[in-house]
Structure 1
Amino acid sequence: MSRTDQSESAEALAQGWCALAALHSRIAGRVERALQAAHGLGVTEYSVLRVLSRQQGHHMRMQQLAKAVVLSQSATTRVVNKLEDQGLLTRYLCADDRRGIYTEVTEAGRALLDAARPTNDAALREALDEAAQEPELAPLVRAVEAVDPVPGAVTP
């Protein structure tokens, strides 16, 4: 590959990355505003509740949760503390390994998640529909819509 080809390839990658970042920002902003207005819930808090509720037993180790919602350990702890203070989550020590801490969704957390899900879904759909009208974002929207979830996979 020539230097020109490498440079053009690098530029195409950079443009693709910028488009992906723009799509993410639009979606996150739209969903954040909708969830905050209707439920006093942020995107990250919603993601934590959603990930936990999809697990067998509605609980997960803190390290797994951090990885699933793509947050640092400290950021995950802050979000979990906030949700725990609101009575939406509880934490407890693992019976087999006292170093392990599990986080579990409470009934109140599941009820809030159930109430917020239609708001999240509508805002997500609106953001994707709006982005699909822009030529540089339309292929990414199609890619998002084509994702076929892996059964049993942890997704935020």
Structure 2
Amino acid sequence: MTAISYASTASSDQVMWSKVLALHTHVERQLTQALQRKHGIGLSEFRAMECLAQAADSELRMQDLADKIGLGQSSVTRLVGRLDAAGLAFRDLCPDDKRGVYAVITDEGRERYAAARSTYDEVLSSALNTVGAVPELARTVQALRSGV
């Protein structure tokens, strides 16, 4: 990880937010690479499968899934389409409201998620340890970890 410099004229909130963004960028990059390399899925796909695996009946309305993973409606539709093409999830119509569409995780999706979960945990911990060793970000990582 490269050293980060912050302008002395920036407010303390701006400096703090810049540190959080630097931390986020580094960790997300590490997670994305590991999940793609080891499990053939992206970070958004992992997060969608996590939400679906933890949901009642292993399904969520598409809008609820979009809200949980921070995507727009069209982006989550494309994401679920990719999961469907890979056999990891499928779309299902709401029996009571034909306009309601659900995303449902498959058994294969649940297995892929379970395998990827340990990779995610290991890489997350390692990435936070790496960033935590950078003097400019050590306190930020420490604050995040102590809040858990």
TM-score calculated relative to the size of structure 1 = 0.84
The C-alpha deviation readout for 1:82-112, integer Å capped at 9, x for no partner, is 0011110011111122211111100000010
Long gaps (5+) in structure 1:
1-7, 149-156
1:3 matched residue in structure 2: none
The reply on whether 1:140 has 2:144 as its aligned counterpart is no
The reply on whether 1:110 has 2:104 as its aligned counterpart is no
1:70-109, aligned counterparts within 5 Å? 70-109=70-109
Q: What is the alpha-carbon distance in structure 1 between the residues aligned to residue 47 and residue 9 of structure 2?
A: 34
Change (3 A) 1:146 1:64: farther
Q: What is the alpha-carbon distance in structure 1 between the residues aligned to residue 11 and residue 103 of structure 2?
A: 43
Please tell me the root mean square deviation across aligned C-alpha atoms, in Å. 1.6
Shift of residue 10, structure 1, vs aligned partner: 6.2
TM-score calculated relative to the size of structure 2 = 0.89
- Give the secondary-structure state (helix, strand or coil) at the position aligned to 1:77: helix
Which segments of structure 1 move beyond 3 Å, counting only runs of 4 or more? none
Q: What is the alpha-carbon distance in structure 2 between the residues aligned to residue 25 and residue 37 of structure 1?
A: 18
Change (3 A) 1:143 1:77: farther
Q: What is the alpha-carbon distance in structure 1 between the residues aligned to residue 63 and residue 10 of structure 2?
A: 34
- Give the secondary-structure state (helix, strand or coil) at the position aligned to 1:102: strand
1:41 matched residue in structure 2: 41
Return the letter of the residue paired with 1:46: F
1:151 matched residue in structure 2: none
- Give the secondary-structure state (helix, strand or coil) at the position aligned to 2:15: helix
Shift of residue 81, structure 1, vs aligned partner: 0.4
The C-alpha deviation readout for 1:31-90, integer Å capped at 9, x for no partner, is 111111111111111001011111111100000000100011111111110001111001
Q: What is the alpha-carbon distance in structure 1 between the residues aligned to residue 37 and residue 52 of structure 2?
A: 23
Shift of residue 147, structure 1, vs aligned partner: 4.2
Count of aligned residue pairs for this structure pair: 141
Q: What is the alpha-carbon distance in structure 2 between the residues aligned to residue 132 and residue 95 of structure 1?
A: 49
Q: What is the alpha-carbon distance in structure 2 between the residues aligned to residue 12 and residue 57 of structure 1?
A: 45
Return the letter of the residue paired with 2:33: R
1:15 matched residue in structure 2: 15
Return the letter of the residue paired with 2:77: T
Return the letter of the residue paired with 2:34: A
1:58 matched residue in structure 2: 58
Return the letter of the residue paired with 1:41: I
Return the letter of the residue paired with 2:24: H
Q: What is the alpha-carbon distance in structure 2 between the residues aligned to residue 84 and residue 143 of structure 1?
A: 39
- Give the secondary-structure state (helix, strand or coil) at the position aligned to 1:41: coil
- Give the secondary-structure state (helix, strand or coil) at the position aligned to 1:76: helix
- Give the secondary-structure state (helix, strand or coil) at the position aligned to 1:29: helix
